Structure 1
């Protein structure tokens, strides 16, 4: 790195440090906290890390790709935003943008670190030659995609999320995120807000898949990334989409329920005072959380707003296929099943099952688990436990995501403690432990 660039980077880091409220020790601890696990293992001791920070801020040595990534993560931003050139520097460079060639060793290192930040190791792609092909294609093809192409990418990744094991989806999605990162680095026109919209959508899907794999720490970091991208886009619907998804996924063991309520309340304030689809959707999340707490009357009142909202705003404004018609009925199955209302839960369940789309399995599995919970609530403990065990046992292990096992835990949690020694209940509990998310399990051919 030229001396002038080192001096400029040092000034940026000093300024950010002075305004960020960290001591050098605090910044070192923050870097360790946010570093992806693979990178964290390679970091020096805290004292040496503090010396490195001081050296960077003094301009004594350049900041390589590893530390550029870590500083961006620590300050809750991106590399491009943290180290962005000023307007005068941009004009001095002219209109030419770098070609980002794969022969640049710094760029190769940056991609390796990005893979680590995505939660991927060097052996991640060993099981799939297609993923390796995609990475090679990314390295040699510099052509940017149109916004329409990126929207189609979102649709394809969402379809994969609904029909394939989570680990396979993470593999494919990670390649797309790398491609988007590359295009964002070289885009300086009206497409930037649209690409931030795409970044928010793909980051949301990545947080989704990490949640399904039970990798909650990385998932929480990706929710933050998704919100930052959504806010940068300037689109209220995109900001609301990320926040409603974040609150909803918090119900599956990712957060305590008080935090879920706080997320719902904060998102409602962002939505404003007028009725909207997003506020109705958030009311559905509140209903599910209240159901898990056993506050069934309150849950049903919150559910009513979600099920009976008749507006059309927001549903397809981010990308098509995000909204599906059976989502309110899935919420009904959850809430009425938890309250022991067989008839209402059964009607909702049949609607969801009749809306079955080829290959989709999450809703179909969980509404059946809702039925088992309803049976237990109404006194059929052995019958409900056997139902739930049969549902899990019939699902191949790679598909048993956190969203399914947490629903199974809710079924088990309905059974009073003194009844859990029954053979049928013990068998279900043992199966539930064995069926916890297996992020490294891919289906065999």
Structure 2
């Protein structure tokens, strides 16, 4: 590898590690975690592996195929994407904008933006948008740039849609705004770039949430990466922590292994350090849920107590107004206490969640499923199954999101195997299968 390429790769790896919030020791542990078994057996001892990472980041030696694979796995991406040359070093493809006539440039822009929408919408692609949305897309291509205040309002509107409307419907509108924002970011305006990137991080976070509700986990993970990258570019640590906490929380719903979610929560804690922040305080709630899913109930309750004590009295209203609300504390209490069968504490927490004035429809369904879970844990497999069946049957099909059905699967998994053939349990399993959304596959965005 030429010296110039080695230096560029070293700088890239340093930046990626810092962006990911890893220490060298932490990254060495992560590489070992993600390594396929055959490679893990051949990896050097921890201290030697740390020296290897430092050598890569100092351009002291090249990154071979084995470590290229491990770095890509650790950062949740591909080798081609991680080690791609920056655009300025890419092969020269000609200056289309300087040589093509205006109508050709407009056509190229239209095709590029249409491709963006197709990739964002999923396998159904542009055909799924409908004529009305196509007309909106044409308007987007010719619309004037929007002001920052208008973009902040859009963040609030999309959060409201996420909480109150079917995920697919809310997502179609959000994709259109992502399209407009992407186009506006192409125009040079240094005074607004940082704030537009903050909006991009916020909207990408909401998009990742909607994709999780639709069960499209691969696409969701890619959008979390987009949100992190945008947040990092702004230098706003609070925003960065918000994105990472949201990503970890989504992982609890079958998107990632609970142990991986636990690892993500610890990354957030390392990044925040001793600096007080809302994202750092709230990550403890996600950590308690992950420990609960892992069956580590005593640890989950201990972390929960710290979370309740650290949660702020005044919940700030920033880039996405009311994104964090106090019902999240009670929701976490309901989750953790129900999983261990503590009925009284779970009931109290559930009642507080249901009393919240601006409740996400998913919270309503899921805390009631927590009640069914608590019933099952306390030996009431039949009664808990009937409770869960009634909850799922009572939801309109378009509102049966993956994040609801995944909690239903948690209830089902809690039922002892020897009771799986009981009529009430079989009916619950059948209803759960029918209500589960069918995820569609997106190409890489």
The structure-2 alpha-carbon separation of the partners of 1:413 and 1:109, relative to structure 1 and needing over 3 Å to count, comes to: same
Q: CA deviation at 1:77?
A: 11
Describe the shift of the 1:155–1:101 C-alpha distance in structure 2 as closer, same or farther (beyond 3 A).
farther
Q: 2: distance between equivalents of 1:378 and 1:406?
A: 20
* SS of residue matched to 1:123: helix
Q: Give how far 1:124 is off.
A: 1.8
Using the alignment, how far apart are the partners of 1:197 and 1:385 within structure 2? 44
2:335–2:346 CA contact under 8 A, matched in 1:
yes
Q: Tell me, yes or no, if structure 1 residue 177 matches structure 2 residue 182.
A: no
Work out the CA distance in 2 between the residues paired with 1:306 and 1:368.
22
Q: d(CA) in 2 for partners of 1:160 and 1:16? A: 46
Instruction: Please state if 1:341 is matched with 2:339.
Output: no
Deviation at 1:397, TM superposition (A): 1.1
| Corresponding residue of 2:127 | 123
Cα distance, 1:269 vs. partner? 1.0
Structure 1 equivalent of residue 428 of structure 2 = 428
Write the distance in 1 (CA, Å) between the matches of 2:178 and 2:101.
18
Structure 1 residue runs of 5 or longer lacking an equivalent are: 1-14, 22-71, 86-92, 441-445
2:149 matched to 1:148? yes
Secondary structure of 1:118 counterpart = helix
SS at match of 1:191: helix
The alignment's C-alpha RMSD in Å is 3.0
CA 1:76 to 1:111, structure 2 compared with 1: closer, same or farther past 3 Å?
farther
1:194-216: per-residue Cα shift (whole Å, max 9, x none)?
11100000111111111111111
- Give yes or no for the alignment of 1:369 onto 2:373: no
User: Paired residue for 2:81?
Assistant: 75
Whether 1:266 aligns to 2:267 is yes
Q: Call closer, same or farther: CA 1:330–1:18 in 2, change over 3 Å.
A: same
- More relative contact order, 1 or 2 (CA 8 Å, 6+ apart): 2
Is the aligned partner of 1:246 residue 2:247? yes
Query: For residue 139 of structure 2, what is the aligned residue in structure 1?
Result: 137
- Number of the residue aligned with 2:227: 226
CA contact (8 A) 1:356 1:364 kept: no
3-state SS of 2:301 partner: helix
Q: Distance in 2 between matches of 1:283 and 1:439?
A: 29
What's the offset of the Cα at 1:421? 1.0
Indicate how the Cα distance of structure 1 residues 270 and 298 shifts in structure 2: closer, same or farther if over 3 A, else same: same
Structure 2 residue ranges without an equivalent (≥5) = 11-77, 91-96, 441-445
Within 5 Å, which residues of 2 pair with 1:92-107?
A: 104-107=106-109
**Change beyond 3 A, Cα 1:426–1:310:** closer
The whole-number CA distance in structure 1 between the counterparts of 2:230 and 2:311 is 29
Aligned CA distance change for structure 1 residues 248 and 361 (closer, same or farther; 3 Å): same
2:31 maps to none
- Relative distance call for 1:426 and 1:17 in structure 2 (3 A) is farther
Corresponding position of 2:25? none
Q: Which residue of 1 aligns with 2:54?
A: none
User: Any idea what SS the aligned residue of 2:121 has?
Assistant: coil
- What CA distance in whole angstroms lies between the structure 2 residues aligned with 1:418 and 1:380? 13
Identify the range of structure 1 (260-269 vs 314-323) with the bigger mean alpha-carbon deviation: 314-323
* Residues 102 and 140, structure 1, Cα contact 8 Å, conserved in 2: no
Higher mean alpha-carbon deviation, 247-256 vs 317-326, is at 317-326
Report the alpha carbon displacement of residue 273 of structure 1 after superposing the two structures with TM: 1.9
8 A contact 1:280–1:305 mirrored in 2: no
Calculate the TM-score normalised by the size of structure 1. Answer: 0.75
Give the SS at the match of 2:111: helix
- Offset of residue 308 of structure 1: 1.9
Q: CA deviation at 1:243?
A: 0.2
Shift in Å at residue 151 of structure 1? 0.8
Q: CA deviation at 1:171?
A: 0.6
User: TM-score, structure 2 length as denominator?
Assistant: 0.75
Cα shift at 1:412: 0.6
